[in-house]
Amino acid sequence: MNLIHFDIYQQLLKEKSGLVLSTDKSYLLESRLSPIAKKWNFETLDAMTIALQGVPDQKLVVDIVEAMTTNETSFFRDTRPFDMFKDHVMKYMKEARSDKKSLRIWCAAASSGQEPYTLAMILKELEPQMPGWRFDIVATDISHDILDQARQGIYSQFEVQRGMPITLLMKYFTQVEEKWHISQDIKNMVKYDYFNLLDSMSALGQFDIIFCRNVLIYFDQPTKGAVLDKMARQITPDGFLFLGGAETVIGLTDNFKAVPDQRGLYGIPTGPHFAA
Amino acid sequence: MKSCLVVDDSRVVRKVARRIVEDLGFSCEEAEDGQKAYEHCQGGMPDIILLDWNMPIMSGIEFLEKLRAMDNGDSPKVVFCTTENDMSHIQRAIQAGANEYIMKPFDSEIIQSKFVQVGVLNSSE
């Protein structure tokens, strides 16, 4: 793909999703966009690019943005955050919410569902110790296709083995030919919705815990800060934010602060997780 | 250094597995069937055993049952690594005392994550 055309997609993606596409990703663009060109009956990728410069069908634009947003995920992706969720965050919440007995969790980039389902399985395992609790997991993504996939909850043998303990596979999946289907019980704990992190978050309501791992890395600095500031308004004063291992809030926002000794975990600076 | 015993009748699989576990920082021994693995364990228990199911002379599941009945036979972690990928095999393996289960084909990422889960390796994030 030539660089002028690359610019067009780069701008489109930035405008629609806030994602920044670096030039070294141009190879990715061709492989991801060719199927879209084919789906929309363009002879070539260039023909689609030309059409895009006119008054394009908004559905085409949505397809293109979806194809370009990355979806890399697995169950228990990095073991550590889920250990932290179970051992630190849930331990805290069990006490802090003992009156209300309910928790709202947001997976802000749900992708094909592995992260929200992992959380649902962990919570299911905690149920005997937390009778009568209500857990709501809201899982959002910018890609409609990937959300459909997540709702189905069907995974390959490779996918279910990356990070997931065999006991959880035995408990919460059924095998249908070569695929593994997650149980209805677990599916019922997760509500999927389309959401663009650039949009206003106020309608989403308050959350006790937000997972936003490995998403910010695709945004430029001002957008990262803006997304974090908005999230700070949607989180309870003693809530927890999970970011990816390579991500930080330093230089982006003062509204979140790293929780000591818990890598990747953040809280509101005035909250109870920090000594005054 | 922690030790891993790779039990598989395929020399190719043993070679691939050896490379992966050595990269993860384990010393590696090999056995080509359950009987050889049993004899190896009589001489000393490894920290972890990567175990195929279908092998001549003694199968993986027979070996596992004998291992768990040995003195100190509970100490090694056992991770099945087999083409048997149906729930009944998985259940049987876990009942017999396997700690984890890998359905072939595998790659280094899967082995690593299973080793972390059974606690012979620290999570590297």
Q: What number of other Cβ atoms are within 10 A of residue A82's Cβ?
A: 21
Average pLDDT over residues A119-135: 96
Residue A248 shares a structural domain with residue A159:
yes
What CA–CA distances, in Å, run from A87 to A84, A115, A145, B11, B27?
A: 5, 17, 34, 42, 32
Residue A98 shares a structural domain with residue A21:
no
In chain A, the number of structural domains is 2
- A69 vs B98, residue with greater confidence: B98
Q: Where are the domains of chain B?
A: 3-118
Residue type, A34: S
Average pLDDT over residues A248-274: 94
Domain final residue pick, A42, A68, A94: A68
Residue A97 shares a structural domain with residue A214:
yes
**Of the given ranges (A223-227, A271-275, B22-26), which has the lowest mean pLDDT?**
A271-275
> How far B113 CA sits from the closest chain A CA (Å)?
5
pLDDT at A214: 86
A interface with B, Cβ–Cβ < 8 A, is: 76, 78-81, 83, 157-158, 161-163, 165-167, 169-170, 174-175, 245, 263-264
Average pLDDT over residues B16-32: 95
pLDDT at B125: 44
Asked if residue A276 belongs to a domain, the reply is no
Q: Please indicate if any CB of chain A lies within 8 Å of the CB of B101.
A: yes
Mean pLDDT across chain A: 90
What architecture does CATH give domain B3-118? 3-Layer(aba) Sandwich (3.40)
Q: Do the chains contact at A78 and B123, CB–CB below 8 Å?
A: yes
Domain final residue pick, A22, A46, A68: A68
- Residue among A162, A163, A170 minimizing CB distance to B91: A170
**pTM score, whole prediction:** 0.79
pLDDT at B120: 93
Asked if residue A255 belongs to a domain, the reply is yes
State what percent of residues in chain A have pLDDT above 90: 59
Nearest residue on chain A to B118, alpha-carbon basis: A165
Residue A88 shares a structural domain with residue A205:
yes
pLDDT at B124: 60
Q: Please indicate if any CB of chain A lies within 8 Å of the CB of B117.
A: yes
pLDDT digits (tens, 9 = 90+) for A211-244: 999 888 888 899 999 999 999 999 999 999 999 8
CA dihedral defined by A214, A219, A221, A224, rounded to 10 degrees?
Answer: -60
Residue A171 shares a structural domain with residue A262:
yes
Q: Do the chains contact at B125 and A78, CB–CB below 8 Å?
A: yes
Mean pLDDT across chain B: 94
Average pLDDT over residues A62-70: 77
Residue A106 shares a structural domain with residue A195:
yes
Nearest residue on chain B to A246, alpha-carbon basis: B125
Asked if residue A274 belongs to a domain, the reply is no
Asked if residue A235 belongs to a domain, the reply is yes
Residue A214 shares a structural domain with residue A147:
yes
The whole domain housing A16 covers 3-68
The ipTM estimated for the assembled molecules is 0.86
Residue A63 shares a structural domain with residue A92:
no
pLDDT digits (tens, 9 = 90+) for B71-81: 999 999 999 99
